[in-house]
Structure 1
Amino acid sequence: MKTLPLFFLLYMLLMGSSCNYIRKINEDPIPTFTEIKGIKYTEVRRSFQNGLSFNEQGFQLEPEWNIYFNADDSVKIFSPVKQQYMTYRIFHSHKALFQFAREWFRVQHVSKDSILLQVMELEARVLKEDKSTIYMKLYSDDYIKKVLKADAATLKQATREDSLFIKYRAIQANSNLDSAFAARTPVVLSSRSKITRVEKLKASLDPYLGHVNRSEEYLYPEYRINIDKAYKDFQYSFSVLVDHNGKMHFKEFLVAVEPEFLESKTKVAKGIIDVYLRNTLSIKPGSTLGFPHTSLINLHIIGRK
């Protein structure tokens, strides 16, 4: 009797597990929105599986959606740019999962008062449970106004748990530069000399949303600095860590540098920081939820003799 190849046995085992999992998904009912048709909801909380709206890198999940379902196969989402509700088709997969606005979801709860959605991660139509860690909580506008007697802006504020987490991360980042994370309120650079001009570069437009991705503005802050009357003409692009005291620390070049020139160019970059930037700029450190902390920024510096 021939022995089956090991890779074939592994393949059959994986296929069996996958089929069992798909069957488990298919056991959940197809989500229906007939009961809540026409009810307007406001997203009040978007968080990770651990309940926090921030991750270790400083990225913040923000509640943004105002929606209502006008049928089981379509939903309307308010566009702040166009100042109107836009219609999106709803597509179903494996019964329990559905998609609209380029995202996959699983309904955790739906009622006339509230909706809880789990954002699902799929790759080539294969569900990745370990990456499906974001949850969206929405309350109906009537529930917010008549039952909670609150306003959406208050409900969207960071929680005490968020604040404690950021405070802990700020202590880490201020004790060790390598623990730096993105500042929700980025570093502010302003010139205090006639020879230096500073411009904060705008983030690129999101081709799908048609407006600037707000997270890019604080995750990857970039600045162009022009220096007149420099010792010679030069142009460098590099990142720096700005600590909670507003002091700059050279991090790395943004473009590749040949190994034989790395030491000398690094020395020049540090000299530009020490001679020009520290003496001609006012530097306000980045902060998150009111806590100043070390964060990374990118600089494009042009010197003219």
Structure 2
Amino acid sequence: MKSTPLHLIFLTLFLLSCNYVRKISDDPIPTFTAVKNIKYSEVKRRFGNGLSFHETGFQLQPEWEVYFSAEDSIKIFSPERQKYMPYRIFHSHKALFHFARDWFRVKHVGKDSLVLQAMVLESRVVKEELSNIYMTLYSKDYIEKELKTTAEELRKPTHDDSLFIKYRAIQANTDPDSLFAARNPVALKSKSKILTVNKVNPSADPYLGYISRSEEYLYPVYKIHINKAYQDFQYSFQVIVDHNGKMIFKDFLVAVMPEFVESKTKVAKGIIDVYLKNLLDVTPGNTLGYPHSSVINLHIKGKKE
């Protein structure tokens, strides 16, 4: 049997690859004309591993309510403004689009559902390894008539999310290096008239708000004012609140000169032991019902009179 000449093999492979490239190039650009004015509710927002929680405690929350008002326009409901906000849609190439201040790869467009992949670009170059968030939206008719449920029910964390958080809670409660933000942050309540405590809430984004709202639990901040203190003082520092509600000094929020670190740390620990432990009811943070150690930021001001 005669062997096939190498040049014919290479020619065949070249023609096949060209045909493959041609087919990729011929993939149709997604269009929104057929789904104009269909209202969709986001029901899933997950990482590439299928989870909605990151190991840091950040939770992806499906919350978009959208509809395409034209081929080049989308409207997204703003909970803060209680109305749909318009955004222009700009097409780059293939299935890559820009709207609502971000880039998306449109994975699927149908009357029942949409699938979007949030993209990260640097200098107009797609960073595939960072583009690992996927959003699934269902039409309201599909949710109500076919699935016979609600968007709120579909948005709930999954069993896999619960198992992941349970595992992370065990880690955080046994290893200080495994701490993560509590989705339901630490709650502090004063037990005395001489101490007031207020949780600082970040201002929400005027259009969508979800990025700003995540700061409320990722970086919880509390302002504490103590009257009739032993002297005037003002300190800003982090504490670990363990799963039992115990406060442990972690670090200062502002730089301290090396020669003062030891003395200031001693004072900060004294404030925790003398005032905070005795004058506050502390409820540890939890995620999906699992209490776990987490870090909070405190700005404390003491007044002697």
Instruction: Compute the TM-score of the two structures, normalised by the length of structure 2.
Output: 0.89
- For 1:102, the equivalent position in structure 2 comes to 101
Question: Is 2:50 the counterpart of 1:51?
Answer: yes
SS at match of 2:248: strand
Aligned structure 1 segments of 4 or more residues deviating by more than 2 angstroms: 22-29, 204-212
Residue 92 (1) aligns with residue 91 (2): yes
Q: Which amino acid in structure 1 is aligned with residue 179 of structure 2?
A: A
Report the CA distance shift for 1:285/1:23 in structure 2 as closer, same or farther (over 3 A).
farther
Mapped to 2, the partners of 1:283 and 1:117 lie a distance apart of: 41
Matched AA of 1:147: E
Secondary structure of the 1:226 match is strand
- Would the alpha carbon gap of residues 91 and 114 (structure 1) be closer, same or farther in structure 2, given more than 3 Å must change? same
Tell me which moved more, 272-281 or 210-219: 210-219
1:173 counterpart residue number: 172
Residue identity matched to 1:156 = R
**What whole-Å deviation, never above 9, does each CA across 1:243-285 have from its counterpart, x for those lacking one?**
0000001110001100000011011101111111001110000
2:288 is aligned to 289
Shift of 1:207: 6.0
- Cα offset, 1:82, TM superposition: 2.1
How has the CA–CA distance of structure 1 residues 23 and 247 changed in structure 2, closer, same or farther, with 3 Å as cutoff? Answer: farther
| Contact 2:81 2:206 survives alignment (8 Å) | no
Find the counterpart in structure 2 of residue 11 from structure 1: none
1:1-305 pair list within 5 angstroms: 28-206=27-205, 209=208, 213-305=212-304
Q: Which moved more, 1:248-257 or 1:65-74?
A: 65-74
Query: Quick one: distance in 2 between partners of 1:207 and 1:40?
Result: 22
Q: Deviations over 1:33-81 (max 9, x none)?
A: 1221111100001000000000010000001111111222111111222
Q: CA deviation at 1:212?
A: 8.2
Q: Secondary structure at the match of 2:116?
A: strand
Conserved 8 A contact 2:78-2:207:
no
Change in Cα spacing, 1:232 to 1:91, as seen in structure 2 (3 Å) is same
Question: Structure 2 CA distance, aligned partners of 1:210 and 1:288?
Answer: 21
Q: Is the 8 A contact 1:43 1:138 kept in 2?
A: yes
The amino acid of 2:42's aligned partner reads E
Contact 1:25 1:94 survives alignment (8 Å) = no
Question: C-alpha separation between the residues in 1 aligned to 2:118 and 2:97?
Answer: 10
Secondary structure, counterpart of 2:144 in structure 1: helix
Gaps of 5+ in 2: 1-20
Please state how far the C-alpha of 1:221 moved relative to its aligned partner: 0.7
Shift, 1:27, TM fit: 5.5
Tell me, yes or no, if the aligned pair for 2:202 and 2:212 is still in contact at 8 Å.
Answer: yes
The Cα of 1:236 is off from its aligned counterpart by 0.2
**What letter corresponds to residue 280 of structure 1 in structure 2?**
L
Larger of the two Rg values belongs to structure = 2
Letter in structure 2 aligned against 1:227: I
Letter of the structure 1 residue corresponding to residue 44 of structure 2: R
Q: Equivalent residue for 2:6?
A: none
C-alpha distance in 1 between matches for 2:228 and 2:101 = 51
Distance 2:189 2:92 in 1: 52
Partner Cα distance (1:90, 1:26) in 2: 22
Q: Which blocks of at least 5 consecutive residues in structure 1 are unaligned? A: 1-21
In structure 1, what residue type is equivalent to 2:293? Answer: T
Deviations along 1:150-198, whole A, 9 cap, x unmatched?
0111000000000000000000001112211111101000111122111
Identity of aligned residues (%): 69
- 2:190–2:279 Cα contact (<8 Å) kept: yes
| 1:204 and 1:212 in contact (8 A); partners too | no
**Does the CA contact (< 8 Å) of 2:102 and 2:118 recur in 1?**
yes
Contact 1:91–1:100 at 8 Å: present in 2 too? yes
Change (3 A) 1:102 1:274: same
Contact persistence 2:182–2:286 (CA under 8 A): yes
SS at match of 1:213: helix
In angstroms, what is the RMSD of aligned CA positions? Answer: 1.8
Deviation at residue 24 of structure 1 after TM alignment: 10
Q: Secondary structure at 1:104's aligned position in 2? A: strand
Name the stretch that deviates more: 32-41 or 289-298: 32-41
Q: 1:32 touches 1:72 (CA, 8 Å); kept in 2? A: yes
